[in-house]
Structures are given as C-alpha cells and as structure tokens.
Amino acid sequence: MIAPVWLFDLDNTLHNTSAHIFPRINTAMTAYIAEQLQIDTEEANALRVHYWQRYGATMLGLMRHHGTDPHHFLHHTHQFPDLHELVVFERELRGMLRRLPGRKIVVSNGPHAYVHAVLTHMKVIRLFERICGVEQLRLLPKPEPRGFRHLLHSLGVHASQCVLVEDSLENLHAAKALGMRTVWISRAHGKPPYVDVKLRSVLALRRVTFSHRVTS
C-alpha cells in the first residue's frame, strides 16, 4: 500500500476566497467584459455569470464566442497588489500538509501567477510538488475531462491513484467519473454518491486515510 497523489483545489479549499478575493475577481471580470465588448456593466455581469454557469469558466465563453485572448483575460482579472490583505486561511494548514503522506499537487482554474502568489503568501508553496494553474491544464479548466486527463498524463499517474480535494461538486463529479477518489470541503448538508469523504475544513484531512494498492 502506498500513499495517494493528492490533488488540491486552491480557492475555497486551501483558503477562503469568498471573503474578499472572489468578489474582487467578479468585479474585475465584469469590468473587463464591459470594456472589451463595449457593453454596460449590468449586461457584462449577466454575461459573466451565464458563461460561468454554461462552461464552468467565464473565460471559456469569452474565448468561444468573442475570440478573447485567455492570457490577456487572466492577467487583467487577477491583479492583487494588496493580496496580503485579502487571503484568509487557517494557520494550521502548513502543519497539516507537512504531515500528510503522499505527493501533493495544487490544481486551480486560476492563472499560475495568482496561484503561486497565494501559496507563497500562505508559506506552503514548498510543500507542493507542482503548481498547476489553468495554463498547465491547456486552458481546459475543471470540470473539463480533457484537462484532467492531460494533468494525469503529465504527472505519470492513473486516476485511481489520485484523490481530488475540492469545494466544487461539478469538479468532484467529473473526477469521480474518471476514477479518482473525492473529498468535498463543504459545510452544506448531505453528500452526493460521487463524494467519498465530506469535510467541513481541509484541516480535517489529517484524519482521513486513503491508499493505493499496487498490483502487478
């Protein structure tokens, strides 16, 4: 038996993004859409939400319907000169990650530079083997199965070796369909059948045991 490969989401999994960062990102995306498409703020916000609900990422809708440069979009919507004032996280996170056996990778739909900056601020970046922003998923954000498959190939692992730790049910559902095990970080009621373990906080992961049996 060997330890699994842990795939950690970043936002609202390793830190509380809803408190400050997500509202800022949403505002920045709305402003970007309004400026680029020359529409008013109300229409731009509705389009942002529509593309997010339809494709799982506003960026994909803009790419498919408006020819938006994804790198330009990601850069201009993830500018946080005051990041140190916005990141909310549990101080015990570093200790939990240090004690958790197995390979640890961060997989985020955010741009690599943003992910790197957040993890650096939390002083946990050196505890992860690899940092995968949406660029490393070939701009195929979760829950897109092709993005997951590319990630698995680049890591040289099978889905059955991996545990996805996430706050998004859509992403967990896609990962489970590929054969991964799943941990849902949520305070909501209930637990869908494609969720193996539900935790109120990522810190509780230290009490969960997953292993992968090597077969010949």
Residue 39 sits in a domain of what CATH number? 1.10.150.450
| Average pLDDT value for residue range 10-15 | 98
The pLDDT value given to residue 212: 60
Q: Let me know if residue 216 belongs to a domain.
A: no
In terms of domains, do 59 and 128 share one? no
The pLDDT value given to residue 3: 87
In terms of domains, do 182 and 91 share one? yes
Q: pLDDT of 14-48, one tens digit each?
A: 999 999 999 999 999 999 999 999 999 999 999 99
Label each residue of the chain as H, E or C. CECCEEEECCECCCECCCCCHHHHHHHHHHHHHHHHHCCCHHHHHHHHHHHHHHHCCHHHHHHHHHCCCHHHHHHHHCCCCCHHHHCCCCCCHHHHHHHCCCEEEEECCCCHHHHHHHHHHCCCHHHCCEEECHHHHCCCCCCCHHHHHHHHHHHCCCHHHEEEEECCHHHHHHHHHHCCEEEEECCCCCCCCCCCEEECCHHHHHHCCCCECCCC
Q: Model-level pTM?
A: 0.93
Total domains in the fold of the chain: 2
Q: Let me know if residue 92 belongs to a domain.
A: yes
In terms of domains, do 126 and 175 share one? yes
In terms of domains, do 121 and 61 share one? no
Q: Let me know if residue 82 belongs to a domain.
A: no
Residue 213 confidence (pLDDT) above 90: no
Range of the domain at 45: 21-77
Q: Let me know if residue 212 belongs to a domain.
A: no
Q: pLDDT of 47-78, one tens digit each?
A: 999 999 998 899 999 999 999 999 999 999 99
In terms of domains, do 149 and 200 share one? yes
The pLDDT value given to residue 1: 62
In terms of domains, do 102 and 202 share one? yes
In terms of domains, do 71 and 94 share one? no
What integer best gives the mean pLDDT of the chain? 95
Residue 96 sits in a domain of what CATH number? 3.40.50.1000
Q: Let me know if residue 214 belongs to a domain.
A: no
